[in-house]
Amino acid sequence: MAGSRQELLIHDLPQLRNSFHVFRDRADAGMHLANMLEDCRGSGALVMAVPAGGVPVGVTVARELELALDLAVVSKITLPWSTESGYGAVAFDGTVMLNEKLLPDLGLSDDQIQEGITRTREKVRRRSRELRGDQPIPELSGRTVILVDDGLASGFTMKVAVQALRNQRCREILAATPTAHEQAAASVAQVAEAVYCPNLRHGWQFAVADAYEEWYDVSEDEVRALLAEFETFRSSANR
């Protein structure tokens, strides 16, 4: 029987399916993605990494495939009582998406929701300024974008980033992530042209960190250092 449309759009590595600690670190995970995306080598596609954890992965993908790199700054809207859980997300162009299925169970007032959106918009603006400076978003109309993060637990944040890129009239969006829950990958496959994920997993519990031997929170200082190193590499390669 033929698979569903979402299944057909999801590309994984069967030998890594439902496995743990399959990547040494984010750079190693980026190498796996680059191998899967070999057809994009030198194509003029733009790699856009989601800070902060997606940047080490995205830098490796862009470097290996000889592609340009930029950032897709997006942040989840966190709950007033928890910085780990969210009920929506805000993207670099101001796009806001709320998890309408979750909201009724949270008991948040309209004022609390709006305060969360306002706070997150400011966080995204600040992060964009600090990591990208005053540079405008590149011209994306008619272009292929490879959207990279280091893992998808629910896929909600990446879906918001995809919508923001749609607003820029991209020709196609390829979502690329080293690891994902199968439901998250299917959710993103509903809005992207394809999902590339070497380590696809299922089960009641899922943690992005379980795909990596070495895992830590990537700081903004590390992001800036990686971007500077990549620019030096690109400059040398273009001489």
CA contacts within 13 A on the Cβ side of 222: 13
| Contact (Cβ atoms closer than 8 angstroms) between residue 91 and residue 136 | no
pLDDT at residue 207 tops 70: yes
Nearest to 139 by CA among 60, 68, 208: 68
Rounded to two decimals, what is the model's pTM? 0.92
Measure the CA–CA gap between 88 and 70, rounded to whole angstroms: 23
Helix residue ranges, H only, the chain: 5-9, 26-36, 54-65, 110-132, 156-167, 182-189, 220-237
pLDDT classification of 2: cutoffs 50, 70, 90: very low
Nearest to 222 by CA among 48, 81, 58: 58
Measure the CA–CA gap between 92 and 48, rounded to whole angstroms: 12
pLDDT digits (tens, 9 = 90+) for 102-123: 888 888 889 999 999 999 999 9
pLDDT at residue 8 tops 90: no
* CATH 3.30.530.20, applies to 5-73+141-234: no
Q: What residues does each domain of the chain span?
A: 5-73+141-234
pLDDT at residue 70 tops 60: yes
pLDDT classification of 225: cutoffs 50, 70, 90: very high
The pLDDT of residue 4 is 56
Measure the CA–CA gap between 59 and 165, rounded to whole angstroms: 19
The pLDDT of residue 78 is 86
pLDDT at residue 133 tops 90: no
pLDDT digits (tens, 9 = 90+) for 180-192: 999 999 999 999 9
Neighbours of 152 (CB within 10 A): 27
Q: Across-strand partners of 91?
A: 74
Which residues touch 29 (CB under 8 Å, ≥6 apart)? 23, 57, 60, 150, 178, 179, 198, 211, 212
